[in-house]
């Protein structure tokens, strides 16, 4: 049985994701696809708009046989760590023949050429990179300049400014460094760009859909205050018909303002409390928190109002909003440099946790069970095969999920569901 691996966030699921699933199987010749999906926090340094079990259910309804969770330390990490974590998990499963990812350029050879340079780091490239960093240029921009100089190709600007291309480069680099036999394919993104915020045809971006859902939520809030009386959510769902699968529409309607939407600002008070317990010296232990950023956080602590406002306040020419947001979530979720080093030394992902599966996925589940070199977890009580490092990683996932669930409980005034109480999704 040939299986293609897909690395996803489904934040939320839309027609472009459905196209990705179908096209990935077609071009790889796979019999089935297995998805590794971010949990309750995503790579851009934010909470997912809806919880992982709900997003997994939508994917399963759309035909994905098995959905696994990418541990939070990688899901909320930089592109390099996000890719390294996902690729290591596919490697350790032992039965993934290929991966397929979406990219803005759709040109695998160009992305592979860049990936090999960033993996091998030839001296000329490394010197240019360090020179740019010493001038205070942000890492993404410094790397872009160094690659252009080394490869003598000004056209790389467009490629290196697009997020899915950057992630694709990191996937290829991770496979290259592991000398992996997993084959790699890319498909060109359909119509909308990653950051596009307006609906376009039948393939709008997740950003555009999140923006529309945010409008519905704000409208309902105004209605509760007696300032708005239009059926905003029904209008939004009508506009989303043709943009997302019908099963997704149903779940969006049923779960709105009971399980979603969740935003960064919902974590504001928790972050403020956490920062009150820290100092500049203690902050630097967290992943991505430099000494300079730690000092800025402490210097501006009294100016904290909301999560988003604080990110805007802290951002500089050499540190982007996303990088700061990601760092703040690392602080909030207790993801430290020491943790990340121990995970890397032990092979990155320490287990494969299944969030959900289709009832007809028996053959795939058997393949995973028989070939995986890491424990397959379907129940959180199944920890007897985990190493101490694996137990630490799982404890971070459980804490992060319970924190997210606490936000749901507080925001929508519903009973708290502990991570141990969440059932695996079966369709």
The upper half-sphere exposure of residue 49, i.e. CA atoms within 13 Å in the direction of its Cβ, equals: 19
pLDDT for res 317? 83
Digit-coded pLDDT (tens) for 349-390: 999 999 999 999 999 999 999 999 999 999 999 899 999 999
Asked whether the predicted pLDDT for residue 194 surpasses 70, the reply is no
Summarize the confidence of residues 25-37 as an average pLDDT: 98
Please report which confidence band the pLDDT of residue 201 belongs to, taking 50, 70 and 90 as the band edges. low
Return all residues near 238 (Cβ < 8 A) that are at least 6 apart: none
Rg of the Cα atoms in the chain? 21
Digit-coded pLDDT (tens) for 252-299: 999 999 999 999 999 999 999 999 999 999 999 999 999 999 999 999
Rounded percentage of the chain residues whose pLDDT exceeds 90: 82
- Residue 66: both structure tokens together: 């098995």
Digit-coded pLDDT (tens) for 49-64: 999 999 999 999 999 9
Measured CA to CA, the distance from residue 27 to residue 94 in angstroms comes to: 21
Digit-coded pLDDT (tens) for 84-138: 999 999 999 999 999 999 999 999 999 999 999 999 999 999 999 999 989 888 8
pLDDT for res 197? 58
pLDDT for res 226? 46
CA distances from 381 to 7, 46, 89, 384 (A): 26, 28, 20, 8
pLDDT for res 223? 45
CATH architecture under which domain 3-191+340-426 falls: 3-Layer(aba) Sandwich (3.40)
pLDDT for res 301? 97
Digit-coded pLDDT (tens) for 210-232: 988 887 766 444 444 444 444 57
Q: Which residues are annotated as a binding site for ATP?
A: 7-20, 102, 164, 189
pLDDT for res 235? 86
pLDDT for res 231? 53
Least confident of 72-76, 194-198, 233-237: 194-198
Between residues 237 and 98, the one the model is more confident about = 98
Summarize the confidence of residues 337-350 as an average pLDDT: 97
This prediction's pTM: 0.93
**Domain map of the chain by residue range?**
3-191+340-426, 206-255, 264-336
Please report which confidence band the pLDDT of residue 196 belongs to, taking 50, 70 and 90 as the band edges. low
Q: What is the mean pLDDT of the chain?
A: 93
pLDDT for res 236? 87
Measured CA to CA, the distance from residue 213 to residue 210 in angstroms comes to: 5
Phi, psi of 187 (to 5 degrees): -125, 150
Q: Which residues are annotated as a binding site?
A: 7-20, 102, 164, 189
- Residue 264: both structure tokens together: 């960064």
Summarize the confidence of residues 393-417 as an average pLDDT: 97
Please report which confidence band the pLDDT of residue 328 belongs to, taking 50, 70 and 90 as the band edges. very high
Nearest Cα neighbor of 81 from 264, 294, 325, 288 is 288
pLDDT for res 397? 98
Phi, psi of 171 (to 5 degrees): -60, -50
8 Å CB contact between 356 and 364: no
């Amino acid at each position: 049985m040939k299986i293609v691996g897909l690395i996803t966030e489904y934040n939320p699921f839309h027609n472009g994701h459905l196209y990705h699933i179908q096209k990935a199987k077609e071009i790889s010749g796979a019999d089935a696809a297995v998805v590794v999906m971010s949990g309750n926090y995503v790579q851009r340094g934010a909470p997912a708009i809806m919880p992982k079990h709900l997003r997994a259910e939508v994917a399963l309804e759309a035909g994905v046989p098995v959905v696994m969770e990418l541990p939070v330390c990688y899901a909320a990490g930089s592109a390099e760590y996000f890719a390294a974590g996902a690729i290591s998990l596919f490697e350790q499963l032992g039965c993934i023949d290929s991966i397929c990812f979406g990219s803005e350029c759709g040109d695998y050879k160009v992305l592979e050429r860049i990936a090999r340079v960033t993996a091998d780091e030839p001296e000329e490239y490394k010197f240019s990179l360090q020179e740019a960093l010493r001038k205070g240029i942000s890492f993404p921009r410094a790397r872009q300049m160094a690659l252009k100089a080394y490869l003598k190709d000004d056209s790389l600007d467009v490629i290196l400014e697009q997020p899915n291309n950057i992630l694709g480069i990191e996937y290829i680099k991770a496979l290259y460094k592991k000398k992996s036999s997993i084959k790699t394919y890319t498909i060109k993104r359909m119509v909308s760009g990653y950051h596009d915020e307006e609906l376009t045809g039948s393939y709008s971006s997740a950003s555009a859909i999140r923006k529309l859902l945010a409008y519905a939520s704000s409208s309902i809030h105004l209605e509760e205050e007696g300032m708005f009386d239009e059926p905003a959510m029904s209008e939004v769902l009508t506009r989303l018909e043709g943009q997302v699968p019908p099963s997704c529409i149903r779940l969006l309607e049923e779960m709105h303002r009971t399980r979603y939407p969740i935003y960064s600002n919902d974590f504001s008070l928790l972050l403020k409390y956490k920062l009150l317990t820290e100092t500049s010296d203690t902050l630097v232990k967290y992943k991505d928190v430099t000494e300079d950023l730690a000092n800025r956080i402490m210097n501006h602590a009294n100016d904290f109002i909301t999560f988003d406002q604080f990110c805007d306040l802290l951002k500089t020419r050499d540190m982007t909003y996303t990088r700061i947001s990601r760092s703040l979530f690392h602080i909030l979720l207790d993801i430290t440099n020491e943790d990340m080093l121990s995970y890397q030394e032990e092979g990155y992902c320490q287990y494969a946790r299944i969030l959900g599966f289709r009832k007809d996925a028996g053959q795939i589940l058997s393949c995973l069970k028989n070939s995986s070199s890491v424990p397959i977890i379907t129940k959180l009580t199944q920890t007897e095969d985990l190493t101490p490092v694996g137990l630490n990683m799982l404890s971070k996932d459980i804490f992060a999920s319970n924190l997210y669930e606490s936000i749901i409980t507080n925001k929508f005034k519903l009973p708290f569901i502990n991570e141990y109480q969440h059932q695996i999704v079966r369709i």
